[in-house]
Chain A
Amino acid sequence: MRAGLLRTSLLPGLTLANPVLSASGCYNHGVEGARFGDVKRLGALVTKTVTPRPRAGNPPPRLWETSAGMLNSIGLENPGVERFLAEEMPRALELGPPVILNVGGESLEEFEQVTERVQDCGAVALEVNLSCPNVQGGQLPFATSPAACEEVVGRVRRVSRLPFFVKLSPNTHLVADVARAAASAGADGLTLINTLHGRGIDWRRRRPCLAEGSGGLSGPAIKPVALHFVALVRAAVRLPILGVGGIATAEDVCEFLVAGASAVQVGTAHFLDPLCGVHIVEELEELLVAEGESIDNLSSLEQ
């Protein structure tokens, strides 16, 4: 194995050991996965969304399995930023990989407030979650309107010394426009895609399978959708992209890099295998060596 084969330049001043990250909301803060083995080899840990105030989340049932995927409606359950910083962030930092902290809110003020509060918590970057489909009635106010996106990203930019990625939604025909708005307002990178709106129906009981009605679809079923939006946005905006959606193998990683992602996130696959991300890193190294490939060859973004 060649040392540094997987090294990934994500942003100016931010180079990761490899391009395989955990996806927000699918690995909590890394502590639970670390009970199964060493998670140091992950390129970075992306934490579950934290909001200014605690959120209880949505009522159960919150999960429904679908063909090659699953629906969730968690609703950004989290202990709020103060408790998160005091109790959970120190444990995440101890695990080894750089931490990218995911922040969320329901208003311009909330995004600004939480961003300001986490500047000195030890994260190498932030991920700003504009695209959770399970809050605010699934309206996605900041991820479906270029103007609203530009405004919130501008507010985050003004208070953030940390670089940040903006996590976008596939649930709009304006994905490229929203991405351009995020870029022009000062985002350092983009994360694509959050989950797709979806619904399960229990027809015998005349009701939806999730308590909230609809939820977000993830898993292998959405990989082609994610690849589509990564490529679409790659062509529209010259910012690094974190690709996410149905990634479970090293082959999947290579597909996303060729589509235009600089790195990827592993989400639902971590539910099947607590060390999936680490296993993908190992597989990816073997695959690139076997094929005489490199991260730089696959990644189309010129630095």
Chain B
Amino acid sequence: MQTRLHKVLRVEGLTGASYVLWLEGPFSAEIAPGQFAMLRTGSDWPVLLPRPFSYFDVSAAGTAASFFGKAIGPGTRALAAVRVGDEVSVSGPLGGGFPAPADGEPEPVCIAGGVGLAPFLLWTKQRATTVLYGGANREAIVAMESFPGQTTFHVATDDGSLGFHGNVLELYRSLVAAGEVDQRAPVYCCGPDPMMEAVAADCAERGVACRVSLETYMACGYGVCNGCSVAVEPAERFGGKPWARCCIHGPVFDAAELKW
């Protein structure tokens, strides 16, 4: 883990106010899918606290890395507005990632909503994966071209402007019913809370393992502020407490451990 300034290599503006920010290395080449970093601009940062971003892509040997985000508030807008050669402070890698499936277990199917697509690019670079990707409309469906050719995408939009007309859970159910997605395959999910909660409930009902990558308010991202609590079933892994720290116990959780 380290905190350092990285030069901006490029910023790719995408539709729906989303963007991919490429920074010059060095980065760890060992970053796991689902791990994240705390980012802020090197100068003129308009807010106090850094903002958490999943690592999107890391080039071979860590010579560059990218972060996929959406300009929503002053912090994420400032990061979208950086120019080539500016510096961005990155503190990471933080938290734990999505685990590799156990021997004999089916390949996980990834379900992403909006910028929740971010943790899955690194995953699909390691394994041929089916990704179900949902958004409000076609403008929200971005960055698929960054994924390797071995990835199978299924897209859902709420307004039907691209792909399946409906939400990503309905898409998942229809693909399972059609036999296009293995009904026993564990589900790895990242997106808005209501979507993850609905997907987790569906998986629980059918006895399918589900892991979710959560995003909460965070001040520090490395375990000292105790502010990013999420409600869990008390377990020794969480020090026997009813809250886990999203940043160090997560951000990837077994959905069965969470109290939504």
Q: Which residues of A contact B (CB under 8 A)?
A: 25-28, 32-33, 35-37, 48, 54, 56-57, 59-66, 68-70, 72, 74, 77, 79, 83, 219-220, 268, 270-275
Contact = CB atoms under 8 A, between A and B. Distances in A.
Given A56-B243, A63-B218, A272 B49 contact: yes
Given A36-B1, A70-B48, A220-B48, A63 B248 contact: no
Interface string B1-38: 11100000000000000000000000000000000000
Nearest to A60: B229
Interface stretch (B60-68, B100-108, B155-163, B220-228): B220-228
Nearest to A64: B217
B181 interface: no
B81 interface: no
Contacts of A36: 1-3, 91, 222
B211 interface: no
Given A56-B242, A70-B48, A272-B40, A32 B229 contact: no
Interface string B190-222: 000000000000000000000000001111101
Contacts, number: 103
Nearest to A78: B226
24 contacts: A26-B224, A27-B224, A32-B223, A32-B248, A33-B222, A36-B91, A36-B222, A48-B226, A59-B231, A61-B216, A62-B226, A63-B218, A65-B49, A70-B48, A70-B49, A70-B219, A72-B227, A79-B239, A219-B48, A268-B219, A271-B219, A272-B48, A274-B1, A275-B3
A248 to B, nearest CB: 10
Nearest to A57: B243
B50 interface: yes
Contacts of B40: 272
A32 B224 CA distance: 7
A271 B226 contact: no
Contacts of B47: 65
Contact of A274 (B222, B231, B248): B222
Contact of B224 (A56, A57, A79, A271): A271
Nearest to B226: A74
B83 interface: no
Given A36-B2, A61-B217, A79-B241, 9 more contacts: A32-B223, A56-B241, A62-B217, A63-B217, A64-B217, A65-B48, A65-B49, A65-B217, A270-B220
A22 to B, nearest CB: 9
A204 B260 CA distance: 23
Contact of B222 (A32, A56, A61, A72): A32
A272 B50 contact: yes
